[in-house]
Every structure is written in C-alpha cells, then in structure tokens.
C-alpha cells in the first residue's frame, strides 16, 4: 500500500492524548497526522519527530472538509458531549469528510454500554450506536471502506460522574444515587491503558491491513473485573480513609442535587435526568461485561480500579 498515513482526531484530550503518545511509540512519525482544535497544544516533540499537524474542530464543519486528505486510516475520537443529536451529527460529518477524502478505514472510539450488543437504555450511548450503524451502512455500500468500533471501557478516572461527583479532596459520607449499589456493576479501566491498547490495534492495521481480522466489527476493551457501585464506593472510602455509603433516591432527587446539576449542565441545558439513564443501564448489566481483549493487547494484567484511584490522590 503506497499511502500508509494514519490520522488521529482529535489528537488531544484524555483518550486522544494517550492514543497519540502511544501511537508515536509504535509507528514512524512521518506517517502520523495529528489533528486538533488547538494545534499549538500538541507537543513540539511530536512535530519535531516528523508528525504532520493539522487544525480542525468538530464544531466548525468547514475545517473538516479537507483535513483528512491523503490519509489512509483515521482513528476518530468521539465528540466530547452526551448530547445525542448534536454528537451524532458531528460524527457523521467527520466520517463523510474522511470517506470523501479517500480514508479507507476508520477506527471509532465508542463506549462500553450495551456490552457487545446493539441496544442500550443509556442516553449517553445513543450517539455511539447511531455512529456505529452509520459506519456499518457506509461499509456495506462501499466494499473498499471498512471500520472498527472500539468500545472503550468506562474510565476509572471518570468515577465522579457515576458517583454524583464524589470528590476525593472533599469527601462526603453518603452518595445519593438512583441506584442501590448492588451488582451488576462496571468493568472500570484506566484511560492510559485504553489509549495504549487502541494504539496497538491501530499499529496492527498499519502493519498488515489485508490481514487485520477486526474489519467491520465492534470490539470491547473492558477492565479486568466488574465492580458493583457499592464496591466502587467502598474503594473510594478506603482511598479517602472514611466509610462512604450509597443512599438510593429517586431520579428527581438525584437530579435536584446542586453539584449534580452543575456538573451535568451542557451549553446551558441541565441533562442530569438524561444522564441518570446510565443507572438503568448499569442495573441491567450493560456495563458489567468483561472481555480479555485489553489484557491480550497489553500483554499484561490491566491496572485495577483502586490502584488507579490511589494514583489520583
């Protein structure tokens, strides 16, 4: 294959930054295109090593029109919001632009709700499912195009959004959730290990695209075991040195908490009730699926939730 250029967009943020760092350890920098809303924030070391730096913004469609030119493979990091329609629209525009510019394979960073199925009750998962379906439709219409949806496990470091914004620096004894804390739970996973594993998948495709076995498939990168919300909160308690308990409340009471509403307000819209659908998804086991893929890719046991959290203090 003459064109082996690999692009990452956005090549910043938590997952994108990790993916970029690990990709540049695995691939020649001159074959890596890093696309960011703020190119100046990309480390000079990447540019000096030979990576191509380009500017684009999900919220400025004009910037996406030609930014994927001369790229063979794109790793598309999902738009950072859980507003369903806006997120889906942004993804579709980026995908269409990539396809128009000749991108032959898209890796897409999806989310670990729905397990390996195609249905979810979580509002946050709907744009991901829409995007996966759109990629599948595109691949079915164009045999020269393929995709891999990588359902990235629920970030250990994102525990606050699942625990009513529990603060390690200012802990409380009680967490009010619309959930009793019992299993099934969540297979927490460290962000940097997701970035590393995603880079390894990208490198596998780069090395042998014709032999890549995961074209037009959905993959799940989970943590090594399931943690119920009660176990999660107990671990947080051990880290902060006090007993912490969950008290189950109604969705209305959960959403009415000032710190919850503040944390879940996007563009002036309080989406706390929409976010609360994750507890229905957790309750039904959507987030509890454990696969060996992360361990197999890393070649080691992934870091457990409590170790990651202790590292955050």
Q: Write out pLDDT tens, residues 128-149.
A: 999 999 999 999 999 999 999 9
Residues 195 and 263 in one domain: no
Residues 74 and 101 in one domain: yes
Q: Give the span between the Cα atoms of 154 and 161, in whole angstroms.
A: 11
Helix (H) or strand (E) holding 161: helix 159-162
Residues 88 and 180 in one domain: no
% of the chain with per-residue pLDDT over 70: 99
pTM comes to: 0.97
Q: In this predicted model, what pLDDT tens digit does every residue of 256-283 receive, in sequence order?
A: 999 999 999 988 889 999 999 999 999 9
Q: In this predicted model, what pLDDT tens digit does every residue of 46-80 receive, in sequence order?
A: 999 999 999 999 999 999 999 999 999 999 999 98
What band does 2 get if pLDDT is binned at 50, 70 and 90?
low
CATH number of the domain at 208, please.
3.40.50.720
**Domain assignment of residue 57, given as a range:** 6-156+188-221
Residues 59 and 17 in one domain: yes
Is the pLDDT at 84 greater than 70, yes or no? yes
Residues 68 and 88 in one domain: yes
Residues 104 and 178 in one domain: no
Is the pLDDT at 1 greater than 80, yes or no? no
Please tell me which residue, 266 or 27, carries the higher pLDDT value: 27
% of the chain with per-residue pLDDT over 90: 95
Mean pLDDT of 220-226: 97
For the purposes of burial, counting CB atoms within 10 Å of the CB of 4, is it exposed (0-12), middle (13-18) or buried (19 or more)? middle
Contact 221, 153 (CB under 8 A): yes
Q: In this predicted model, what pLDDT tens digit does every residue of 89-100 receive, in sequence order?
A: 999 999 999 999
What band does 221 get if pLDDT is binned at 50, 70 and 90?
very high
Residues 151 and 171 in one domain: no
Contact 15, 152 (CB under 8 A): yes
Q: Could you tell me if residue 70 is left (phi over 0), alpha (psi between -120 and 50 degrees) or otherwise beta?
A: left
CATH number of the domain at 272, please.
3.90.25
Is the pLDDT at 288 greater than 80, yes or no? yes
């Amino acid at each position: 294959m003459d064109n082996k250029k690999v692009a990452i967009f956005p090549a910043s943020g938590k997952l994108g930054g990790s993916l970029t760092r690990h990709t540049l350890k695995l691939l020649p920098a001159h074959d890596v295109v890093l696309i960011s809303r703020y190119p100046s924030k990309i480390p000079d070391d990447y540019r000096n090593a030979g990576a191509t730096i380009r500017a684009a913004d999900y919220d400025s469609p004009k910037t996406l029109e030609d930014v994927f030119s001369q790229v063979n493979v794109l790793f598309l990091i999902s738009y950072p919001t859980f507003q369903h329609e806006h997120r889906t629209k942004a993804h579709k525009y980026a995908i269409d632009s990539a396809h128009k510019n000749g991108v032959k394979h898209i890796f897409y960073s999806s989310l670990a709700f729905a397990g390996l199925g195609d249905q979810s009750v979580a509002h946050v998962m709907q744009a991901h499912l829409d995007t996966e379906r759109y990629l599948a439709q595109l691949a079915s219409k164009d045999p020269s195009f393929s995709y891999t949806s990588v359902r990235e496990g629920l970030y250990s470091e994102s525990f606050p959004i699942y625990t009513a914004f529990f603060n390690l620096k200012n802990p409380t004894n009680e967490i009010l959730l619309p959930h009793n804390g019992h299993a099934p739970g969540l297979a927490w996973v460290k962000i940097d290990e997701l970035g590393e594993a995603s880079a390894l998948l990208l490198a596998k495709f780069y090395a042998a695209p014709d032999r890549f076995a995961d074209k037009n498939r959905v993959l799940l990168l989970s943590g090594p075991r399931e943690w119920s919300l009660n176990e999660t909160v107990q671990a947080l308690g051990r880290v902060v040195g006090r007993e912490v308990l969950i008290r189950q409340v109604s969705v209305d009471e959960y959403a009415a908490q000032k710190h919850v509403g503040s944390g879940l307000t996007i563009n002036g819209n309080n989406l706390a009730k929409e976010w609360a659908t994750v507890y229905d998804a957790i309750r039904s086991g959507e987030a509890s699926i454990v696969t060996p893929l992360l361990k197999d890719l890393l070649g080691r046991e992934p870091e457990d939730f409590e170790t990651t959290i202790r590292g955050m203090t």
